[in-house]
Structure 1
């Protein structure tokens, strides 16, 4: 059974969307699901081009029906924290069109507590609409991550749960 977690929340004053989920899987397994392009494509965008999960690396996330979303890795402290800046579909990555997503992973016995914090909405054209959309997005996408990480993916390189 997949773990059920509270939905994402908006902090209007800090222009931040946050969600914390508990995943019945090791930090190594969750880290792989966040940073390996083949595994990311299993639960988040339909296509991922991000061959290196190291600071400064760039790539794209592609969601069905949208142009490529540019991505730049800002932090990679395995298996503790991973952060990237991402922008608008089809647009270059600029401060006025991007936000930063930061994942922190904490061990909780054999499980992982994952927190995602997305910031930078105050620079966007419509911060409130963007935060509402991403709150819904992180609620559904992290539910998919939980189901994926707690499931039995088959891959020779997959870390054991």
Structure 2
């Protein structure tokens, strides 16, 4: 049994209103790219994801069991290096609207770099100053990125090992 790569936790920058996490994944960039861009793969480690296409402007939802559906839109696409998503995530707005709105939304950007033995993935989520309670949302998303990306690393590394067998 191969153990999952240990990675540092997410970091909050309260002055810049961002959450950042850089992790190492023992899998090639192409596998990590699929894990962060293909809805059927994202759904295996994050929220159940549905998108109406590929690339900038593709829109849809990400659904979480205890939270409901969150509108999602692709903001940037530079395969296989950078993808950015905007999503609504401000609980204080009450019922979330059915499409992405600038107020109360943040953008999370994944950047992939090839490194010896795998991929360096950095996620930066920005825009918390646009939410009703930036400090609470920053902390909530900091812990969320720790949990979700750890699940993704375990899944991608397991798939990479199985593909080599």
Query: Does the TM-score normalized on the shorter chain lie above 0.5?
Result: yes
For residues 5-61 of structure 1, give each alpha carbon's deviation from its aligned partner in whole angstroms, at most 9, with x where no partner exists. 00001000000000000000000000000011110011001x211142300110100
Q: Name the counterpart of 1:68.
A: 69
How many Å separate the matches in 2 of 1:118 and 1:21? 15
How many Å separate the matches in 2 of 1:97 and 1:18? 19
**Residue ranges of structure 2 left out of the alignment (5+ in a row):** 90-94
Q: Please tell me whether residue 106 in structure 1 is matched to residue 113 in structure 2.
A: yes
* Distance apart, 1:96 and its partner CA: 1.4
**Residue ranges of structure 1 left out of the alignment (5+ in a row):** 154-158
How many Å separate the matches in 1 of 2:81 and 2:134? 29
Of 129, 139, 153, the residue aligned with 1:146 is 153
RMSD: 1.9
* Distance apart, 1:76 and its partner CA: 1.1
Q: Secondary structure at the match of 1:113?
A: strand
For 1:11-160, what aligned pairs fall within 5 Å after superposition?
11-45=13-47, 47-88=48-89, 90-91=96-97, 92-152=99-159
How many Å separate the matches in 2 of 1:54 and 1:101? 15
Q: Secondary structure at the match of 1:2?
A: coil
With structure 1 as the length reference, what TM-score do the two structures score?
Answer: 0.91
For residues 113-158 of structure 1, give each alpha carbon's deviation from its aligned partner in whole angstroms, at most 9, with x where no partner exists. 00000000001100000000000000110101110110127xxxxx
How many Å separate the matches in 2 of 1:149 and 1:53? 21
With structure 2 as the length reference, what TM-score do the two structures score?
Answer: 0.89
Does the CA contact (< 8 Å) of 1:20 and 1:114 recur in 2?
Answer: yes
How many Å separate the matches in 1 of 2:159 and 2:67? 30
Does the CA contact (< 8 Å) of 1:37 and 1:51 recur in 2?
Answer: no
How many Å separate the matches in 1 of 2:41 and 2:57? 20
